[in-house]
Amino acid sequence: MKFSKTAMMVVAGGMLASTLVMAQQKATSERQAQFAIDTRQAVLTLLGSNMAPLAGMLKREIPYSQELVQKNASRLVQLAHMLPDTFMVDTSEIDIETEALDGIWKNKADFDAKTQAFIEAAEALAAVSQDGNEGAVKQAIGAVGKTCGGCHDVYRAD
């Protein structure tokens, strides 16, 4: 297959743009920081709302439904992949209200390892929810929960 010159340029341009966006940067204005924080909180809120019924099943507060686990797990995977991106903008030096602790950007490698662990736990849950038994699925839900808390314990303000 032969790509047109225009298409090649669009792809190259897109790749360049994405590297610019992906690179970690310090927020330079309150406006920029606020947008980063809003996006972060939006993703985390949706992670929370999609996780809540799964936790509810674990606690036997609502009936177990593997269809619902499949649906929410696939959403968790998508959102999980967005999560590291929303922390690319370092808001630690802007005086603004956020529960994100400065350590996120001071220990970025550790933070990244923790978000990666979360992504992998969400992917494992999505996989096991396809054909796994209830016990295995519940175990995978618990594993996702641990990766949420593992990060909150260290990088979220009390």
Partner 1 sequence: MARRQLVWDGPTRLFHWLLVASLIALWATAKYEYEELHVQLGYGVTGLLIFRILWGFFGTRHARFGNFLPSPAAVWRYARGWLGLGQHQHYFGHNPLGAIMVFVMLILLGVQVATGLFTEGDIWSGAWQHTVSGETSRWLRSIHVLNFDIILIAVALHIAAVFAYLLLKKTDLISPMFSGKKPVREREPGEFIAHSAWLRALIIAVVVAAFVYWLVVIAPPTPEPAYYF
Q: Which residues bind partner 1 (CB under 8 A)?
A: 49, 52-53, 55-56, 58-59, 61-62, 141-142, 145-146, 148-149, 152, 156-158
Closest CA to 55 of 145, 129, 148: 145
Residue among 84 and 145 whose Cβ is closer to partner 1: 145
What element of type H or E holds 155? helix 134-155
Cα–Cα nearest to 130, from 54, 74, 51, 52? 74
Buried b / exposed e across 36-63, counting CB within 10 Å, b at 16+?
Answer: bbeebeebbeebeebbebbbebbeeeee
CA 6 – CA 26 distance, rounded (Å): 34
As measured in angstroms, the least distance from the Cβ of 118 to partner 1 is: 11
Q: How far is the CB of 13 from partner 1 (least distance, A)?
A: 39
CB nearer to partner 1: give 87 or 118: 118
Enter the tokens of residue 88.
Answer: 């690319």
Question: Would you say 62 or 88 has its CB closer to partner 1?
Answer: 62
Report, in Å, the least distance between residue 101 CB and partner 1: 12
Nearer CB in complex with partner 1: 55/88 = 55
CB of 42 to partner 1, least distance (A): 16
